[in-house]
Chain A
């Protein structure tokens, strides 16, 4: 598996994400936001957490229009894999690669804590290492993680089995407790919680490891 991790000014989970990919056996290339091409042979692009462009205008809005994001969209349209975590999820909704938007947390507070997630589908190369219905513990750290989409979109996501994770105890007001969703072809994942922060015993939890291992297993020959 060859993973590219995009670095924007203000990204702060880029190295953590690279370490998690490497621990699963991936070759990792860091890609700068001004780059206009992805490295040759990239299987998956990771959009990391952080505060790209200082969250100016709207979280993820300026990053979504940066030079590299045109390439990321083209990669996704070719059937390539993309994973956006936290600010990365916000970027993916702003690009339109995933539906909906992330609003300010309903309680207005920035929340940084480990939360329970329910695995809602194992039918994706991101979640095939989990059992449907199982509960995993993954940290969140966000101010704008309140997932919003119109009722038709929520119903479609649920009907097409594209909700990847829900919160067991909704911390931010997200509609239908949604913590992470998949694209129509199930190769683009956006999620607010940080699996790369639960990928080593030293993190205090390892429930994120199965996600990176599943990806590495699926993309080993790609």
Chain B
């Protein structure tokens, strides 16, 4: 079994990398991109029986820094 963890900067936390991507898209002629937020996806290959709560504990302790980031867990 696998879990997919999505980590994003929280709303209100400046994302200068996303902003640079938005600028580049505009310069390339892709109009209408109002904002870009860049995050990361972490895939975990898990032993059977690992619970979503276990993955959330991993997020709280290591995978995300909840001062600046939010996360969501998808069991797949």
Contact = CB atoms under 8 A, between A and B. Distances in A.
A100 B63 contact: no
Contacts of A104: 16-17
Contacts, number: 35
B73 to A, nearest CB: 16
Contact of A57 (B13, B17, B63): B63
Interface string B28-57: 000000000000000000000000000000
Interface residues of A, number: 20
B20 A61 contact: no
A101 B62 contact: no
A94 B67 CA distance: 9
B16 A148 contact: no
A173 B20 contact: no
22 contacts: A57-B62, A57-B63, A58-B65, A61-B62, A61-B65, A65-B61, A93-B67, A100-B67, A101-B65, A101-B68, A103-B13, A103-B14, A104-B16, A106-B16, A107-B16, A108-B16, A108-B17, A108-B20, A148-B13, A149-B67, A173-B14, A173-B16
Interface of B: 13-14, 16-17, 20, 61-63, 65, 67-68
**4 tightest A-B CB contacts, nearest first:** A101-B67, A101-B68, A108-B16, A106-B16
Interface of A: 57-58, 61-62, 65, 93-94, 99-101, 103-108, 146, 148-149, 173
